[in-house]
Structure 1
């Protein structure tokens, strides 16, 4: 058993995370199937993503400031209770006349989720020592990706032989089990300081803190670029279901190389990044964006499904590796008093970029085809990665000069 699982708080958070991710994977492909049945439009996939992400982004604007004076354990329990109830309602939507209800439920579920992630980050940082956070983040990401492989394979089987609608009920059950695990969550290791400052004061201070912290700003900008590239996934739905005329189960099976990429990223990053140093990590981050751009191009220009799967694997490895390294660095450079606010603003920035990217590539794929749009994403990834590499070299050069001056 990994040493990190000896932490009582992290162990329960990890178990609760596993259970709800299992349900999420069943629901994701079910929502795709529901939208496809109710509308049949490629644009509806993009619209569904926007209705999931836009409420999440808007709620993340203020969720961190609210969470600071709330009990994190109660927040996570309440959120999972609400998500379990809401997800079960998808099961009963059967006609196009209630397409609006699908979007409404997506909005409500993701408003709840915007409170869960910052609360979980605060709990993790409270429970895990600085030197063990890379291992914790790698384990979370690696396990999540492994579950993508297993659960999407099972979900594809259920969709092919039965109805995707039962996946909604499975997800609801997973949320309730996750809730029961969190009920017995031990008290956080560090006392949570309450503040008498008003909500708007805390919100303004959070943005001011990020604005004056160049290290945090650069990480957020990097992750926004990575999430724009990650929008290729919404286009993959249109590419598989509409352009290639494949079945929904094929799209589900393509999550297997996606999950493998995350597993490999969790293993490699946990063994390498801890002792690599800032210079080498910065280089890895830059090359990860470039690799994602090249892989996205390959996904939508590959003919054989095996070649397409390999490109998905490469893209996932680069994406998940960059996420693990960036989140670990953000945890390290953020002051504890601002952690909830920084991570809620991070969710707003990164998922906002993802939502915008999904809308653009979803609309673009339907208008001009996914191969042309993927070429634009590839160019964006190459340019963004190159800019990061140049900026990182300049920053390290300035730090070196400053050290020489002090000496």
Structure 2
């Protein structure tokens, strides 16, 4: 993985990614503090998640065809400049009457993210050799987890010692600092199909038809959607710790430390062993990851001990991050380069759509049920999802064998 950093394009992209990820962790816990200060209901936490991801889903619907025409470096620079300006606005929202402004800023920040993330995926595919993409994805995912570990540790301390509001300014500074790396990237264009004959809506429909007719890609997207539904446990965990257990905000932030450690370990394990395994073994591991997530969620919400919360978070992180690395790498290999931006935009749309709807359902459920009862439903879904994935892959293997 270290050899990837010798590639100047990937190294600069990676540097920008590390810096703005660190800032994201500052803002994540600070937004929770802001919502708790202005409202404090389980529905407000869920609404905060929905207003983060619903505009992301809608913007992703249009992002793919637009990104094919736009130069990727410029897109990423503009997105991080806008995100830096927007997150600094949170610092000034102090009255519950302006709760709507929190949601509005969250929406605009995530519209920018809907264009930034597929752009970054395209740059990774274009700058990294196919045989090195699993290592690249492992490095980025492991770094995501490491920044979660470092960022939440720092953010939790800042919240405990000072005020969560200063975290917003730190995040803005990280976005601006990341521009120094992005501006040094070369101009990056993408080959696209029928560029001269198809307009925006033609390319949009063509992208959806491509995904619809490509069964292997569809199955990977279904897997990622199911994982995102189980991932909505995180919103429930906010309510469980802050409202049901009445624990301080910094304790919730500290739970991201085992989450980060587990993610780093997942990146190391996948990069070392995944290439040695037969695809059918990897399919079994993906189903197993869903089952580990389910068991961890159930244990987490049926225990009152912080040590159990941390242990289950650690194992959940290994499973979730491993599933993410393997499925993204498979998607990169399956997608035609001419459709890459559109495929990843569809991925962002359906995965974040599933996550948003799940979070909204959980937020509504907390008004009527205890967290443990909702966790039972999430865990049960994850078990069934693992079985569905194995059935899909078994059916595909049988079909391939006949042909």
TM-score exceeds 0.5: yes
- Indicate yes or no: 2:309 matched with 1:308: yes
Kindly provide the CA deviation profile for residues 59-104 of structure 1, in whole angstroms up to 9, marking residues without a partner as x: 0001011010101000000001100001101100011111111111
**2:68–2:190 CA contact under 8 A, matched in 1:** no
2:87, 2:243 → 1: CA distance?
A: 27
SS in 1 for 2:143: helix
SS in 2 for 1:144: helix
Q: Which runs of 4+ in 1 moved over 2 A?
A: 190-194
The corresponding residue for 1:207 is 208
Deviation at 1:304, TM superposition (A): 1.4
The corresponding residue for 2:378 is 377
Deviation at 1:390, TM superposition (A): 2.2
2:381, 2:73 → 1: CA distance?
A: 40
Kindly provide the CA deviation profile for residues 200-248 of structure 1, in whole angstroms up to 9, marking residues without a partner as x: 0000000000000000000000100000000000000000001111000
**1:8–1:186 CA contact under 8 A, matched in 2:** no
Alignment of 1:145-156 (within 5 A): 145-156=145-156
Q: Which moved more, 1:300-309 or 1:80-89?
A: 300-309
Alignment of 1:75-90 (within 5 A): 75-90=75-90
The corresponding residue for 1:365 is 366
Deviation at 1:186, TM superposition (A): 2.6
The corresponding residue for 1:236 is 237
SS in 1 for 2:107: helix
Deviation at 1:397, TM superposition (A): 2.5
Q: Which moved more, 1:194-203 or 1:210-219?
A: 194-203
Deviation at 1:394, TM superposition (A): 2.4
2:212, 2:192 → 1: CA distance?
A: 24
1:103, 1:295 → 2: CA distance?
A: 31
Q: Structure 1 residues 191 and 288, CA, compared in 2 at 3 Å: closer, same or farther?
A: closer
Kindly provide the CA deviation profile for residues 108-166 of structure 1, in whole angstroms up to 9, marking residues without a partner as x: 11111100011111111000011100000000000110111111011000000101000
The corresponding residue for 1:344 is 345
- Indicate yes or no: 2:161 matched with 1:176: no
The corresponding residue for 2:26 is 26
TM-score by length of 1: 0.97
Deviation at 1:192, TM superposition (A): 4.2
1:187, 1:134 → 2: CA distance?
A: 24
**2:9–2:186 CA contact under 8 A, matched in 1:** yes
2:278, 2:329 → 1: CA distance?
A: 13
The corresponding residue for 1:405 is none
The corresponding residue for 1:255 is 256
1:280, 1:200 → 2: CA distance?
A: 40
The corresponding residue for 1:131 is 131
SS in 2 for 1:68: helix
Q: Which moved more, 1:192-201 or 1:2-11?
A: 192-201
Kindly provide the CA deviation profile for residues 278-335 of structure 1, in whole angstroms up to 9, marking residues without a partner as x: 1111111111111111111011011211011111111111111000000000000000
Q: Which moved more, 1:14-23 or 1:299-308?
A: 299-308
The corresponding residue for 1:70 is 70
SS in 1 for 2:366: helix
**1:19–1:178 CA contact under 8 A, matched in 2:** yes
**2:156–2:254 CA contact under 8 A, matched in 1:** yes
Q: When the two structures are aligned, how many residues end up with a matched partner?
A: 401
**1:27–1:167 CA contact under 8 A, matched in 2:** yes
Deviation at 1:366, TM superposition (A): 3.1
Instruction: Provide the aligned C-alpha RMSD in A.
Output: 1.2
Deviation at 1:277, TM superposition (A): 2.1
Gaps of 5+ in 2: none
**2:18–2:144 CA contact under 8 A, matched in 1:** yes
